[in-house]
Structure 1
Amino acid sequence: MILRIDRVHADRPFAEAGNPRLAVTDERLGLLAVTGTVGHDRPASTAVYRTSDLTCVALLRSRHHAHALAFHPELPLLAVGTGRYDGGYHNEGELLLLDLGSGRAVSAFHDPTGRTVRGLEWRDGHTLRLSLEPVSKDAQDPQVEHLVDLHRPDWRRPEPRSVRGAELGNSTTRPLTAHPLPDPGPVLDRHRPGRGPGGVVHDVRLLDDGRVLVSSDGALLECRLPSGEVSWSVPAAPHGGARLVVAPDQRSAWVHVGPWYVPDLPDSVSRIDLSTGTRTARVRLSAPADLHAGPDGLPVLVPRGSRYVPRDDLHLRRGSGTSFCTVGTSRGPGGTHQRWVGAADPVPLPGAEEPLAPDAPPLGESGPLLAPDRTPPRPLFPLSPLPGEDHDGGPGVELPGGDLLQAGARWRREGRRPGDCYLARRDPADGTLRWLFRTDRPAVVLDTDGTHAYAGYDSGDVLALSSTDGTLRGWGRLTLRGAPLVPTALTVTAPGRLLVGTECGRLLECAFA
């Protein structure tokens, strides 16, 4: 089976770059470079577009946000300076050189930690000037910035890791000054006004009448008509929605708000009238919990031990039986730490069983405070399906009959190796392994129609596996006008049909055939 994209919703200009923070135009090449942020704790994106038709011709992902962009004055080459303070000691970052002809990018600094690059300027066709922050907060003079001129006779084929510390040390200094980024809005609006908000999509649902519900960084909940038009949108205030549960009668939905990276913001769940987009109820949570649909389709809360929920925990995408979660660690063979899969007792959401009141009035920020049960989850079996190994988790889904389908990856101190990632089907009682399918990258989204399991990856790949024996049945890559798309939400709407939300805020109707 091959994956095809049948329809694209929420398309917008410059979506590949996320929320733009800097834009630079090269009139000679007819190109526009845009860099932006793409959600919390996600790789930053820099996209290059043709100004004639805004086709994305190159896309670069970096570990840190970009602070500077500079087109080479003669060659099809873009220099990108990135960096951040790591919170402890270093000002780390990269100098990335993107070949606009081949799309190939190299990281120029030899030291993997690198330096924070705040400014870039091509002095001529051979010399690139860098403005660098001090190596660390404990530098001899942390209140100066370092100016370094990199000279190369030919920048056509820059070598990776070719800029060593000695070359960066040959610098002049000047007082450290702020480098405010110019507003990219005027530049982008000259090419395409009315860009509209974006944001990482966290959950998607298709209603029986063809409407699509979307929770994202850009909106608590949004409803799109079958025509693709927005019927209504509940704005993020200031954070958008995460997991959502649709009522069995499809008249209302509950949306979870609780970004783990904002420690002072308590979790909450809001009920939204799906005919008007009115928020009719809100429950504040005194302890961290995840929102799930119970066996009767009504929302329940599954307590979790910590507000911090990293992506390498087990996240159950769909399930009505056991409420799986990740619990604690224990000392395993050879001194490894093994995390376990546990079972938590779900807590009904107050008022969820009550029908939506007709003409329910809007609700403000108030709401009752709910204290989810703090009973520790019951450990069931090690998170790793293979004995003696320490594994990271990932998305999970309950299969018909109750078996657990989970994504994961082996953890190694030296880094992952090819084949260290996998999808596995396991017995929900004791974790017995039914089958295991190995991959080189961890799955980021997962769902099933019972016959097949569908897994999406940050490369844009989507796999279809037999849920019975794990055999690969289909494959495809998500791209739009040549640019790759990263899936961040995936829902099966019918056998072989998928609704996919992406990192750039788009919605894709897809099918395997």
Structure 2
Amino acid sequence: MTFPLRIGRVLGDRPFAEVGEPVLAVADDRRGLLAVAGAHGGHLVPLGRAPVGVYDVDDLGRRALVRSHYPVTAMAFHPDLPLLAIGTGCYDGGYFFMGELLLTDLETGRAVSLIDSPLGPQVLALEWLTGQDLRVLVAPPHDGDDAEAWVEGHVAVVSRPDWRLVPPASITWQELAGPRVAAPRPDHREEARRAVSGLSRDWDPRRNVRAVEELSDGRILATLDEVRAESWLPSGQRQWTVADDKGGRDLVVATDERSVWVGLVRPTCEEPPQALVRLSLQDGAQIEHITLSAPASLVCRADGLPALAPAGDLGERGRLRIRRGSRVYFREIDRPGVETTDGSLVYAGTVHHGQGLQPGGSFVVRREIRTGEPRWVFRTDRTATDLDADAQTAYVAYDDGEIVALDLQDGTVRRRRHLTVAAVQAIPTALTVVGPDALLIGTSDGRILKCSAELPADPDVTGT
């Protein structure tokens, strides 16, 4: 059963908001359109989401929005039909170059994957030669015993009489096995930034809100990519922002609300591995800096004071982010949780599998701390990005955009729905309960939403 999630305020909204950080932009001057591909979702969206938005250059209205499993590497508008070809892909880190060729109908917004293999190949370049012929440059299947695979590719021309009628998975590997040619991998990010900046001075490359908190005076704090922390006034104006190479991660507001502790994002391979900073809530000025000897989670204890939970040998993956804990928790997982008023623990996790997340492999559990016994377990197929709870309900955000409200007593589903902003699905990456049925939600595209959940008064209402 869905529930009305009413959005009262949207902070961080701006033109091209849906794509976040642009990495590629392609114009269709005849139609007055601009296609903009955003950066891949990264670790906050574990299965990955690379958005592609198509906008009218006159009013910046969005015409279409699709999300790719792989990073976007090439785009080309059809010369006659309302179609956009999108090439995607990346190296898997060990052997294969994988990707997709997507074809998006700009009238319906529907995108289909055209290559008949779920694992490739990586598409490097696209060009419409005619209304029937598409030139496709793809990477070699792998780099095993092939040092030139990183600078060369295979070029082929794929022909179809009417591309509007092309079914999914209908382009074969044989059609793409053309001659070997030079295939540079240029970086288009600066060109993409210039393209969107030229259309709007209000554009801002925000993405991946990691933490959100509300102060008693109505100000809202957030951490996100390349921002240690920022503060928004109740009027909707940004009060201050502090830039950072990587960005902030965890937030703990001092009990007197004069300062905030921020845990910074740092790869475990860097030295020092992590740091904490304390910022003034008046202007964001740095008050204190602490270098940690090992990775840790910054968490808020039940008494409101900050605490550090060691992350163990797994670094970023070993973080257990438990809010309002009366003790410091340590467990080899990287999923969110909260301690309830009776001292039990509600947290999310996944079951490891060599082939990735399996059906039912994601869970939320309420566990007794003394005995370790679970009171209830809720299972699903998607990875949780954040979790918080009030006295009756645990709210869980997932990487496919769904928000699920679970009854805190027995784990049954009270309500669930996918998050949408201006009729477009958004991916929640941070969630905080700030009052009865009141939520702050941060998104992968850098927006912050003040929402009213409006759950039913009867806690026994369930849904599917």
TM over 0.5: yes
Match of 1:395? 336
- 1:473 equivalent to 2:414? Answer yes
Shift of 1:126: 0.9
Match of 2:215? 207
Shift of 1:79: 0.9
Match of 2:329? 324
Q: Which amino acid aligns with 1:13?
A: P
Of the candidates 51, 60, 63, which is equivalent to residue 57 of structure 1?
Answer: 63
Q: Is the 8 A contact 1:60 1:105 kept in 2?
A: yes
Q: Which amino acid aligns with 1:15?
A: A
- 1:156 equivalent to 2:97? Answer no
Q: Is the 8 A contact 1:38 1:504 kept in 2?
A: no
Of the candidates 109, 112, 117, which is equivalent to residue 123 of structure 2?
Answer: 117
Match of 1:196? 204
Match of 2:153? 145
Within 5 Å, give how 1:59-208 maps onto structure 2.
Answer: 59-137=65-143, 138-139=145-146, 142=149, 143-169=151-177, 171-181=178-188, 183-208=191-216
Shift of 1:509: 0.5
- 1:281 equivalent to 2:288? Answer yes
State the distance in 2 between where 1:228 and 1:505 align. 15
Within 5 Å, give how 1:274-423 maps onto structure 2.
Answer: 274-306=281-313, 308-310=315-317, 315-327=320-332, 394-412=335-353, 418-423=359-364
What does the per-residue CA deviation read over 1:381-429, in whole Å, with 9 as the maximum and x for residues that have no partner?
A: xxxxxxxxxxx86322111111111223444556655544332211112
Match of 1:343? none
Q: Is the 8 A contact 2:338 2:388 kept in 1?
A: yes
Match of 2:460? none
Shift of 1:43: 2.5
Match of 1:34? 36
Q: Which amino acid aligns with 2:171?
A: V
Of the candidates 423, 448, 455, which is equivalent to residue 482 of structure 1?
Answer: 423
Shift of 1:161: 2.3
Match of 2:371? 430
Shift of 1:469: 1.8
Q: Is the 8 A contact 2:74 2:88 kept in 1?
A: yes
Q: Is the 8 A contact 1:453 1:467 kept in 2?
A: yes
Q: Is the 8 A contact 2:12 2:448 kept in 1?
A: yes
State the distance in 1 between where 2:249 and 2:87 align. 32
SS in 1 for 2:323: coil
Change (3 A) 1:480 1:473: same
State the distance in 1 between where 2:69 and 2:148 align. 27
Of the candidates 248, 254, 257, which is equivalent to residue 241 of structure 1?
Answer: 248
Q: Which amino acid aligns with 2:263?
A: H
Q: Which amino acid aligns with 1:68?
A: A
Match of 1:373? none
SS in 2 for 1:243: strand
Shift of 1:52: 4.0
Change (3 A) 1:393 1:432: farther
State the distance in 2 between where 1:19 and 1:507 align. 16
Match of 2:461? none
Q: Which structure has the bigger radius of gyration?
A: 1
Match of 1:366? none
Q: Which amino acid aligns with 1:507?
A: I
Match of 1:463? 404
Of the candidates 11, 21, 24, which is equivalent to residue 23 of structure 2?
Answer: 21
Equivalent pairs counted in the alignment come to 445
State the distance in 1 between where 2:330 and 2:59 align. 47
State the distance in 2 between where 1:439 and 1:406 align. 14
State the distance in 2 between where 1:294 and 1:49 align. 45
Percent identity between matched residues is: 41
State the distance in 2 between where 1:306 and 1:90 align. 28
Q: Is the 8 A contact 1:109 1:161 kept in 2?
A: yes
Match of 1:3? 5
SS in 2 for 1:188: helix
SS in 1 for 2:107: coil
Q: Is the 8 A contact 1:216 1:505 kept in 2?
A: yes
State the distance in 2 between where 1:272 and 1:243 align. 13
Shift of 1:45: 1.7
Q: Which amino acid aligns with 1:206?
A: E
Q: Which amino acid aligns with 1:119?
A: A
Shift of 1:307: 5.3
What does the per-residue CA deviation read over 1:309-346, in whole Å, with 9 as the maximum and x for residues that have no partner?
A: 23xx663341322322323xxxxxxxxxxxxxxxxxxx
Change (3 A) 1:201 1:38: farther
Q: Which amino acid aligns with 1:10?
A: G
State the distance in 2 between where 1:140 and 1:11 align. 44
Q: Is the 8 A contact 1:20 1:36 kept in 2?
A: yes
State the distance in 1 between where 2:185 and 2:260 align. 45
Q: Which amino acid aligns with 1:510?
A: C
State the distance in 2 between where 1:272 and 1:140 align. 48
SS in 1 for 2:176: helix
